[in-house]
Every structure is written in C-alpha cells, then in structure tokens.
Copies of this chain bind each other. A is one copy, B any other.
Amino acid sequence: MSKPRVGLIGIGAMGRGVAANLLDKGFAVSGFDVRPEACEWLLEQGGQVAADLPSLASDCRTIISFVVNDAQTEDVLFGDKGLVGCMQPGTVFVACSTMPVDYVSRLGDRLAALGIHLLDAPVTGGAAGAAKGSLTIMAAGERAVFDLVHPVLQTFGGRIFFVGDKPGAGAQLKILNQHLCGVHLAAAGEALALAQRQGLPLDIALEVLSSGSAFSWMLGDRGPRMAHEDFGQVTSAVNIFVKDLGLVLDTARQAGFSAPLASAAFNAFVSVSGQGMGAWDDSAVMCFYDRHPGTAELPKPPPKTH
C-alpha cells in the first residue's frame, strides 16, 4: 500500500528537516512556500511543489503547517487564495507553530464547522531535531485524528505526546515549555555573568554548575556559547524569546496568574533586543547582566555640559 501524500506549508529551517524525513520514509510531499529558493530545494529532494494553496488543499488529506505564527496561519487558511474552501471534508490540518492558546482553541471550532480536523501539535527540538527526526511533539485534538496521522508524526517526532482531546492543550504546553526554557536561559546568563564579575574562570564554573543539581538543558546547551561570548553563531535569536515569553505573560495575565520569574526573564530579553541585539544568538541575554562581560573597561564619564 503506497503512503498518502502529505502537504507541507512553510519550508524554512524546521520545515526542511520535516520534508526530508517524510520523503526518506516514503511519503509523497507537496510543499508550499512563498520563497522560490525553498521550493527549489524541495524539488531537488524529490518532493513536489504546489502551484498554490488551493491546489495543495485538493491534493492532500493531511496538511502540516510550519509557518511562523498565528498571523501566517490565519493567512494560509482564511486569506485570499487560502486553503479554506478547497480542503476536502475530513482533512487534517496539523498546526506545528507556536501560537496563543485562545487562537488555537477558536481555530479548532472554526475548522470543525467546515468539516476540517485541527491537530494542535507544536514541537520543540529546533532545526537540529527536525533534521534528525527527533522533535518532541505535543499533540491535542480528537484521539481518532491523532491516531490517523500518527505515522506521519513519527517521521519527524522522537517523542510524541497526546496531551488533550481539545485543540489548545498543545499550545498551552508549548508555552509552558518556553516559560521554562526562557527562565533557565536568563538564569544561566545571570549566574555566569555574576561568576565573571567575581573573576571566576567561566569554563570551570560551567563545568562545576553543569555537574549536579544546578543543571538545566539550557545551561548545558547555551552555557558554552556564553562562556566564549559566541553570540554571532545564531541557533535561535533573542527575539524568539521576546515573542515566546510575551505569549507566556499574555497567557498568565488571562489566567489571573502572577509569573514574576517569567516577567524578569522577559525583561532581560526585551532589554537586550531593544539595545540592538535582537538578531543575536539568544545566549546574548547574558549581556543584560553586564554590558560587556569579560572586559574590565569602564564606561567613559558623561561629557560636561557647562
């Protein structure tokens, strides 16, 4: 039995790894991306490129979206020449973007009214995880829909969790995931900048702190970049956490929930971004704590005005 054709919207850093894994495991892939070079890449890999979204909708009963956010998702579905109106009833739309919980919940209802199933399925693991097919997927929706697309999810997911039977639970968990990632990352910056201020060698500090109860995945991953002030090799940008911790704080406010740690971490990222480092690697959050860690150079005194 040949495997079904899968639609893939958004062939960026994440989508490319997903496409490669789908093709590698025998699925036919119809892709769509507004960037011609992304489409060319997919053709070279042996995929097909849809002429437009309506033709992708008519070809595929499973459509995976790796666009950036809720605005792009809205456009892909309901925009001019979008998917809606051309998808066959029973189609599953797998939304893998990080989006606000209330948007995802409402989207589930809006698509259900059209006979379309939404699987709320955000991921973590980054471009490296997408390439290796080892992403963590947090899926919420009807159980039967989850079971139906499980073979597709398995091509790019290393850990696949069914987290709830209503769209929105996946978005909630992704936002909690970003809460902890953002706080741990800012905490690593705070601790290592303080170590540096005290004159401790950062390589030793990092080794000791990573060896026991102070360990976090973020300290292990981003700590070496902080220790070497290697902020130019961008794996994920400061501005991603400005966006994601913003979603965390929106979620908390809507729940009447005070989140002082998330708030403190958000302030660190937004300050670094506002000082011109938004496109730097997110390990540059360390610069919030010390303007230029690693130098003993003091700022010049302000000019005299009279």
Contacts and interface: CB of A to CB of B under 8 A. Distances in A.
Interface of A: 101, 124-126, 136, 138, 159, 161, 163-164, 169, 172-173, 176-181, 183-184, 186-188, 190-191, 193-195, 197-198, 200, 204-205, 207-209, 211-219, 221, 251-252, 255-265, 267-268, 289-290
A211 B134 CA distance: 11
A217 to B, nearest CB: 4
A207 B161 contact: yes
A177 B260 contact: no
A176 B195 contact: yes
A161 to B, nearest CB: 5
Given A197-B255, A207-B161, A124 B214 contact: yes
B261 A209 contact: no
Nearest to A172: B198
Given A198-B172, A255-B197, A180 B264 contact: no
Nearest to A164: B200
A184 B267 contact: no
Given A179-B194, A261-B265, 8 more contacts: A177-B208, A177-B209, A179-B214, A180-B187, A180-B216, A183-B187, A197-B257, A260-B264
A212 B130 CA distance: 13
Nearest to A187: B183
A261 B179 contact: no
How many copies of the polypeptide does the oligomer hold?
2
A176 to B, nearest CB: 5
A213 B181 contact: yes
Contacts of A136: 208, 211-212
A172 to B, nearest CB: 5
A212 B138 CA distance: 12
A141 to B, nearest CB: 15
A198 B257 CA distance: 10
Contacts of A159: 211-212
A305 B136 CA distance: 55
B184 A187 contact: yes
A180 B193 CA distance: 13
Contacts of A207: 161
9 contacts: A161-B208, A179-B191, A184-B184, A187-B187, A193-B257, A194-B259, A197-B255, A257-B289, A260-B267
B205 A173 contact: yes
Contact of A176 (B194, B218, B263): B194
A197 to B, nearest CB: 5
Nearest to A123: B212
Nearest to A168: B198
A261 B195 CA distance: 15
Contacts of A263: 264
B261 A163 contact: no
Given A136-B208, A200-B163, A208-B138, A177 B213 contact: yes
A162 to B, nearest CB: 9
